[in-house]
Every structure is written in structure tokens, then in C-alpha cells.
Amino acid sequence: MHAYQSIKRELQRPSTWYPRQVACVRVGVGIWLLVLTAILYGSGHGGEWAWLLVPTAALHFCIAYRLFRAARRHSDRSLPSR
């Protein structure tokens, strides 16, 4: 069994499937990175490397968006059909 298959199986278990909570944490981390970038540039200590925080924050927002979509799809499947 490959590592990817074991991770995929673990994520499919209902007891470990918390994409909405993880997405909220990722949004919080993305906001914190943007605030940190603003603080660093506002204080004049930003330098060239601080702009690396912006793409990192964008990556967190992108992953959070995908997790929110996955959570919606997962909840749509678990709803009983009438």
C-alpha cells in the first residue's frame, strides 16, 4: 500500500473528516500572514523576503477554498434523499 492510499483512506473515515475546521484554521493563518506582512512593511523591516508571505497566504486561502468545497460535497452526499 502506498502512503497516498493510506492517507486517502484515513481522510475518508467520518471520524477524521473535518475539512471545514481545517479550512477555518487555514483562513486564519492566511489572514495572520497578511497582517504580519503589513506590520513588517509598516515598520520598515519588511525587506525583500517579506513578499514571500503574500503568496504563502494566497496558498492557504486556495487550500481553504478547496477544503470548503470538499466539505460541501461530503455533506451533500451524507444527506438522506427524500
Q: Which has the minimum average pLDDT: 17-21, 27-31, 62-66, 67-71?
A: 17-21
Q: How far, in Å, are 41, 49, 52, 72 from residue 78 at the CA level?
A: 46, 45, 39, 10
Phi-psi region of 79 (alpha: psi -120 to 50; beta: other; left: phi over 0): beta
Query: What one-character DSSP code corresponds to residue 81?
Result: P
| Coil/strand/helix, residue 8 | helix
pLDDT in tens, 59-71: 999 999 998 888 8
Domain limits, the chain? 20-75
Torsion of CA 16, 5, 29, 48, to 10 degrees: 170
Give the pLDDT score at 18.
81
Give the pLDDT score at 61.
95
